[in-house]
A = this chain, B = another copy of it.
Amino acid sequence: MALEHAILVSLDERSGSGYELARRFEKSIGFFWAATHQQIYRTLKRMVELGWVTGHEVAQDGRPDKKVYEVADAGRAELARWLASPGEPETIRHDLSVKVRGASLGDPAALVDEVARHRDLHAERLDVYLAVEKKDFPDPSALSGRRLHQHLVLRGGIRAERALVEWCDEVLVALREDDRR
């Protein structure tokens, strides 16, 4: 599984606590890898046992103590190994497609609403990604290294969301057209 690797990548960019990692997964990392704080805490614990990261407690005043984690050499080695190892393309699980395929067994109007709702959600996400791109990567052609890689991943999110919005639109036109007949 790649959650460990996603955490390694994130910790390598900047060390942090489980809580901070969870926040990053809600925003930037979460654009391409979802994880809850529960998963992150459990995985960090295992990674310490494996020697991939080291953790030390940091006292804070006014706030609870936190444990800050850093990538260890063994973690960097594991990441390098994994980066070079071939992986399977993702297994797809797309609820909305199941719903569209089963459309004739339910209420057509309700399905149209559901597709329209997803269309708007994806359009919103697309806007967020485009705003991030404009703000953080104003001159893409000048990028290199880490910043380039971050931008490329964002580009993937943009392409994926755009494709989804367009697909939803295609579905909506077709379903409404079919309804009228």
Residues in chain A within 8 A of chain B (CB atoms): 2, 5-6, 8-9, 12, 30-34, 76, 79-80, 82-84, 86-107, 110-111, 114, 117-118, 121-122, 125, 144-146, 148-150, 152-153, 155-156, 159-160, 162-164, 166-167, 170-171, 174-175, 178, 181
- Please give, as numbers and ranges, the residues of chain B lying within 8 Å of A97 by CB-CB distance: 32-33, 153, 156
Find out whether the CB atom of B84 lies under 8 angstroms from the CB atom of A107.
Answer: yes
B-side contacts of A88, CB under 8 Å: 95
B174 with A94: CB separation less than 8 A: no
Complex contact B83–A12 (CB within 8 A): no
> Do the beta carbons of B121 and A89 come within 8 Å of each other?
yes
Query: Are A93 and B9 CB-contacts (below 8 A) given A83-B99, A83-B111, A152-B171?
Result: no
Q: Is the CB of A148 within 8 A of B163?
A: no
* A89 and B122 contact, Cβ closer than 8 Å, known pairs A9-B101, A104-B145, A110-B84: yes
- Report the copy number of this chain in the oligomer: 2
Taking the closest CB of chain B, its distance from the CB of A168, in whole angstroms, is 9
Q: Closest 6 CB pairs between A and B?
A: A83-B106, A84-B110, A32-B97, A34-B91, A9-B102, A163-B163
Residues of chain B within 8 A (CB-CB) of A104 are 145-146, 149
Q: How far is the CB of A133 from chain B (nearest CB, A)?
A: 13
Query: When the two chains form their complex, are residues B160 and A101 in contact, meaning their CB atoms are under 8 A apart?
Result: no
A100 x B152 contact (CB < 8 A): yes
